[in-house]
Amino acid sequence: MKIALVHDYLVQYGGAERVLEAFAELYPYAPIYTLIHDPEAMHGVFAEKRIYTSFLQRYPFVRKHHRLFPPLMPPAIEQFDFSKYDVVLSDSSSYAKGVITRPETLHISYIHTPMRYAWDDCQKYTEDFGFPRFVKKLVPFFMNPIRLWDRVSADRVDHIVANSHFVAERIRKYYRKEAIVIHPPVEVRRFGIEPVQKEYYLMVGRLIAYKRHDIAIEAFNRLRLPLKIIGRGPELERLKRLAGPTIQFLGRVDESELPKYYAECRGFVFPQEEDFGIVAIEALASGRPLIAYRGGDIPEHLEEGRMGVFFDEQTSEAIVGAVQRFQGMVFDPEYIRSRVLHFDKEIFNAKIKNYVDKRVAENLSRRTSRRMTR
């Protein structure tokens, strides 16, 4: 069985890339097809893999500013030739699911989200990425054909796997297709419980607008409580200007040091809406409770009162109130950790392999049956 892996872009290492990494371990001989590959930004991940890129790779400006060029992405992803493969496994947040395959080739797509900036986040798209004014005026004109392409491209997929029930609902809404749910892999065994915690609160993730570090910083400025922020991104300078003396930016932390930061924090702050919040699961795997926005996938996993507290509006005032409630509560780290062990990477790998094997067998059976009836 010849299998190919497809990914949107390899320009950063995040949750989607962890899924691709798991796919690459399950299918070590499968090449990776992607629109753009920036080896430096990937810090050596996939260095040993065969990676095929689109024509966009030839243009450095596009590689660095790919979000400015949505109209180029559909023809770029459609240029790849998968005629020699039996199975295509795509890992998609936007364009990877849009590859074109032969009728007999099985295409399974693991979807992290329907293309956010084409659907529910269309208006936020231009604001969050700080586009120039003339680009903002052009966005509505090219977004409609992108939206149509996104809807049509979903019909090219034979089977869809969603990363959360939250995403499965949005797939049903925008694509009118059903998806099974297999949560992304989290290396929960890397994280453990420390007997003593310190007084700081923690945030982990890229410093980009939708993560809402700004409202967390405003809240902790008012509370005068210590907040450590791990991560880098384009929002750094703006957030530094907002930060008071109790806010500490740690930048990129070595992976070997990250579990200790999780395990020693008093609580983990999660003010954003995510399709699947891997860093939140890592905090829970460390036995630490969350102070989380009641949105996205987090309500699927967080038992309020025993694993943390929710707030219902993305405002600094709501976070202040949640932290004040949180400080009067007692949590059981062992119980918190026990509730997320099923996200382990080995469990994910087994579920994905079983699912792919089942669909391959069904596809082969159908093809054999058709040949026999001719």
pLDDT tens digit sequence for 291-325: 999 998 899 899 999 999 999 999 999 999 999 99
- What integer pLDDT is reported at residue 60 of this predicted model? 80
For residue 76, pLDDT over 70 is answered with yes
- What integer pLDDT is reported at residue 227 of this predicted model? 98
- What integer pLDDT is reported at residue 122 of this predicted model? 57
Number of helical (H) and strand (E) elements in the chain, helices listed first: 14, 13
Q: Does 125 share its domain with 240?
A: no
**Across residues 258-286, what is the average pLDDT?**
95
- Backbone angles phi and psi of 208, in degrees to 5: -130, 160
Q: Does 169 share its domain with 224?
A: no
Whether 179 contacts 162, CB under 8 Å: yes
Which range, of 13-22, 130-139, 151-160, 244-253, averages the lowest pLDDT?
A: 130-139
pLDDT, tens digit (0-9, with 9 covering 90-100), for 86-99: 999 999 999 999 99
Q: Does 331 share its domain with 223?
A: yes
Q: Does 84 share its domain with 145?
A: yes
Q: Does 333 share its domain with 356?
A: no
Q: Does 50 share its domain with 148?
A: yes
- What integer pLDDT is reported at residue 140 of this predicted model? 65
3-state DSSP helix/strand/coil % of the chain, to nearest 5: 45, 15, 40
Compute how many other C-beta atoms are within 10 angstroms of the C-beta atom of residue 342: 12
Sheet strand arrangement including 106-111: 51-53, 32-34, 3-7, 87-92, 106-111, 159-162, 180-181
- Backbone angles phi and psi of 324, in degrees to 5: -65, -40
Number of C-alpha atoms within 13 angstroms, CB side, residue 322? Answer: 30
Which ranges constitute the DSSP H helices of the chain?
Answer: 15-26, 60-64, 73-78, 122-128, 133-154, 165-175, 213-223, 236-242, 258-264, 278-285, 298-301, 316-326, 333-338, 345-373
Q: Does 119 share its domain with 192?
A: no
User: Residue 373 — pLDDT band, cuts 50, 70, 90?
Assistant: low
Q: Please provide the DSSP assignment of 89-129 as one string.
A: EEEESSSGGG----TTSEEEEEES-S-GGGTTTHHHHHHHT
Q: Does 240 share its domain with 366?
A: no
**Across residues 254-281, what is the average pLDDT?**
94
Q: Does 7 share its domain with 114?
A: yes
Residue 289, Ramachandran bin (φ over 0: left; ψ between -120 and 50: alpha; else beta): beta
For residue 338, pLDDT over 80 is answered with yes
Which range, of 24-28, 114-118, 279-283, 284-288, averages the lowest pLDDT?
A: 114-118
- pTM above the 0.85 mark? yes
SS3 306: coil
SS3 242: helix
Q: Does 82 share its domain with 42?
A: yes
Instruction: Quote the CA–CA distance of 257 and 290 in Å, as a whole number.
Output: 20
Q: Does 316 share its domain with 364?
A: no
pLDDT, tens digit (0-9, with 9 covering 90-100), for 194-246: 999 999 999 999 898 889 999 999 999 999 999 999 998 889 999 999 999 99
For residue 255, pLDDT over 90 is answered with no
| Residue range(s) defining the domain that contains residue 90 | 3-185+344-373
**Across residues 154-180, what is the average pLDDT?**
95
* Residue with tokens 């925008």, as numbered in its chain: 174
Instruction: Quote the CA–CA distance of 159 and 101 in Å, as a whole number.
Output: 13
* CATH code for the domain of 120: 3.40.50.2000
pLDDT, tens digit (0-9, with 9 covering 90-100), for 282-300: 999 999 999 999 998 899 8
- What integer pLDDT is reported at residue 163 of this predicted model? 94
Q: What percent of the chain has pLDDT over 70?
A: 93
Cβ-proximal residues to 86 (8 Å cutoff; 6+ apart), any chain: 1, 2, 3, 105, 106, 360
- What integer pLDDT is reported at residue 68 of this predicted model? 75
Give the total number of structural domains in the chain. Answer: 2
Cβ-proximal residues to 196 (8 Å cutoff; 6+ apart), any chain: 264
- Backbone angles phi and psi of 308, in degrees to 5: 145, -165
* Residue with tokens 């660095």, as numbered in its chain: 64
Q: What percent of the chain has pLDDT over 90?
A: 74
pLDDT, tens digit (0-9, with 9 covering 90-100), for 123-152: 555 555 555 565 666 666 677 888 899 999
- What integer pLDDT is reported at residue 275 of this predicted model? 87
Q: Does 214 share its domain with 117?
A: no
